[in-house]
A and B are shown apart, each in its own frame.
Chain A
């Protein structure tokens, strides 16, 4: 009831008072007329009768007037509120004009916070929140293999998928595609070049339903026929194919085969991302060991009626059936079904979430900073507010007025922040497009702008409301009793906020420090080779004259290695089917004298002086040489990890292994036994983040069938790397001008591998530094105001003979308490939350005390520096002046 009264009072009068007023007015009106009529000589009774008649039916009239009154009060209330708002804005704007410095600072702080938050949101929104661009994306799923330990992983074999596809009752359609895009050579009159492509099997396009901007999408039946078809990306079509409409006559030569271009996939609908070519191929059932060649990724469209769980149950039952009839199937303990977007985004989920959290902390720090500033200013404005209150402004009005002022600045900051974010997200996108999944979906649009404006309003409220409530709560009576005490008043909430800022900053700095340490640790990992001074040359032999003739392949590489070795700067030249930072193959192996089990190793085909070119040491035996030919004894060189894994106690030299998965097909189903002739150092072929695995090497002359695509490595003196790029390109061009070649450096390729980690470190570092700046600003602000409020106290102390250093220490003491309390809370928080980073940290423990110590010390130093300025200023005061003014 009380609340109701209060609301009614807000509109002027209560319902009863309103009715009462109207009745009184009518009463007075009739009385006046009665007076008049009586004066004209009518009797009192007659006069009353006529007066009432003249007024109209009294009850009816009262009701109508009451209605009209209610309407009036609603209107007036509305107008009143509009007026108040307008007044608040005008007052706010006037203050902004009067204190442009404060306004600029506030707008900058809001702007910075909103800009960072909005940039991160742009990425989080596009990558994690928005659905995939395909038709009914909710029904798109990825199918995962499940091995014995029941931990599903994304790679599947054609054999298993073939059975899932035929026997399921829960999928509308499904397909597989090759896991990594390969470089497809496109022959053109201007010379050959490569574009990334994948082979697709099954109902790939029916499942995905990408938008086609020209031609048609091939069907599963096209694949079955193994027709020479190709689907191209819009980018490739426009840039290289002159936007020619697809037709039966439109063919292009891909890897030496003429293929008809049947359709063009719209930009943004490529899957996998960054692919320009899709080549439909026919699938075939595979049983036995071939079921375990997990070289594909599978996707499916759920049937209208089925759910993810039903599909998982349905497919897992099929998988169990496969294992019952095919005991060799080691990846058929079930089938994992995941939403396709989750499968695409993968681990980016972890760090994007972490970064979004970090940036929200920065915004929180910014708001706390402004709130602290507001408390300090509130103390200074208490006179003004007290005057307003004693002149009859309601507390609500004063609060609204103060908050409006802050909201005004927050909105301005939000607009500045949006402009910054628009620019910033573009810059960031350019840097991370290669490593961030779904980066092509990143869009700065109305949704993002709405988020930015919304966040700035929230931040403005957070920063403006607490100080406004406190200021209005301090009461009108204060005006008279305002003779200031010796000690400044009202510093406590500001101090608490700044301590909070300090704590959050320590948290952010610790996180950034841990990520930076991990980055350093990863980047300084021993790769097992020296990437400096190595020029790489990628060549694909696709023309039929190579493909159908292994001898021609061997002759080409022999000539290439020879030519490159003759370059004046070349110190060592080697080649490999997969060199470091490139792809790789792995398969099951058999050890001589052991029953076939689940032993496996990475498999690499190399030529020339591969290990010398990489500066990888040979520990035992010999490397390959020209005597290892197709008709000589099959040999292999293994890495130390493989020696340790399979012959921990014995000498592996002279032992025999065979690569059953990789070689059986090429040798009529029977892989040859290879004798181990050497042991070399471990190489992290997949870059810094990769683990070391057992690896076996095979000379290309003994395995020319898979050697149509090799990369040469030319070691040159490091300073001459740049010049060597040109001479390598020339030499390769002379060998066979029809081939597509790609020259770069090993160091450059490696660098690209660190860009994801570098992006996380850079962003988190930027957030940490911003937080550090903001909180030192907070310390500075709170201390300045505290010192100003204590002017009298300090002046008296000074007059009583306190030394200047003593005064500085007095003011600084307060700052130290603040920083210490904040720091301890921050470190406690950081320890509590360290699990967040666990999945992202490599080679560094999330509890590493160095990160915490550095963050703490760093903050203490900067914050102290910020505190020294107001402290010395306070100590330099002239006591006489200070006391006179106070």
Chain B
């Protein structure tokens, strides 16, 4: 955990939306997706994921329903809403522009 990247504010929310845009997941699934997708670079405390999920639910960007896992465990599955999809694509665009601009500036030769 010591080498992992610190998360910028709001980034976790965006990543969760991204994950859910692929398929509905439960909290644990999200944690695994983040860790594996980033090759272990992004590791957060699991509780942070749940707090983010509550926030996203309150903004009606995600919805949740109880379901059953492959291993027959009860888990709450989160789905992206239509609003969530829209939000994700606009956030992603903003992120791209931001990253591009910052990257360009940092690459400037002095």
Contact = CB atoms under 8 A, between A and B. Distances in A.
Contact of B75 (A32, A55, A64, A71): A32
Contacts of A686: none
B73 A25 contact: no
Contacts of B87: none
Contacts of B26: 28-29, 32
B54 A55 contact: no
Interface string A5-32: 0000000000000000110111011011
Interface in B74-109: 74-76
Contacts of A35: 71, 73
B55 A28 contact: no
Nearest to A21: B76
Interface stretch (B6-14, B15-23, B41-49): B41-49
Interface string B36-74: 000000000111101100110111100000000101011
Interface in A61-87: 61, 64-65, 68-69, 71-76, 79
Nearest to A68: B54
Nearest to B59: A75
B45 A72 contact: no
A32 B73 contact: yes
A31 B76 CA distance: 13
Contacts of B50: 22, 25-26, 29, 61, 65, 68
Contacts of A381: none
A55 B46 contact: yes
B105 to A, nearest CB: 35
B54 A65 contact: yes
A76 B57 contact: yes
Contact of A71 (B27, B32, B46, B58): B58
A56 B47 contact: yes
B44 to A, nearest CB: 9
A79 B74 CA distance: 29
Nearest to A36: B32
Interface residues of A, number: 28
Contacts of B47: 55-56, 60-61, 64-65
Interface of B is mostly: helix
A56 B31 CA distance: 13
A372 B46 CA distance: 61
Nearest to B1: A54
A33 interface: yes
Contacts of B54: 65, 68-69, 71-72
Nearest to B76: A25
B28 A56 contact: no
Contacts, number: 75
A75 B58 CA distance: 6
Interface residues of B, number: 23
B16 to A, nearest CB: 13
B50 to A, nearest CB: 5
A32 B51 contact: no
Nearest to A69: B54
A24 B74 contact: yes
Contacts of B28: 28-29, 32-33
B27 A72 contact: no
A793 to B, nearest CB: 52
Contact of B74 (A26, A28, A73, A75): A28
Contacts of B46: 29, 33, 54-56, 61
A800 B47 CA distance: 79
Contact of B57 (A32, A54, A72): A72
Contacts of A32: 26, 28, 69, 71, 73, 75
Interface in A30-65: 31-33, 35-36, 54-56, 60-61, 64-65
A61 to B, nearest CB: 3
Nearest to B49: A29
A65 B54 CA distance: 8
Interface in A557-579: none
A61 B60 CA distance: 23
A72 B69 CA distance: 25
A87 to B, nearest CB: 16
A327 B78 CA distance: 101
Nearest to A73: B58
A26 B47 CA distance: 8
A68 B27 CA distance: 15
Contacts of B74: 24, 28
A76 B51 CA distance: 16
Contacts of A33: 28, 31, 46
Interface in A754-775: none
Contacts of B59: 75
B81 to A, nearest CB: 12
A60 B76 CA distance: 21
Contacts of A74: 58
Contacts of A54: 31, 45-46
Nearest to A22: B50
Given A32-B73, A35-B71, A75-B58, A65 B51 contact: yes
A79 B60 contact: yes
A564 B54 CA distance: 100
Contacts of A55: 45-47
Contacts of A22: 50
Contacts of A29: 26-28, 31, 46, 50, 75
Given A54-B46, A56-B47, A28 B58 contact: no
B68 to A, nearest CB: 10
Given A26-B50, A56-B47, A79-B60, A68 B69 contact: no
Contact of A76 (B27, B58, B71): B58
A25 B75 contact: yes
Given A31-B73, A79-B60, A72 B55 contact: yes
Given A25-B50, A25-B75, A61 B55 contact: no
Contacts of A69: 54
The 3 closest A-B CB pairs, nearest first, are: A61-B47, A72-B58, A68-B54
Given A56-B48, A71-B55, A72-B55, 4 more contacts: A29-B46, A33-B46, A54-B46, A73-B58
14 contacts: A28-B28, A29-B26, A32-B73, A33-B28, A36-B32, A55-B47, A56-B48, A60-B47, A64-B47, A68-B55, A71-B54, A72-B57, A74-B58, A76-B58
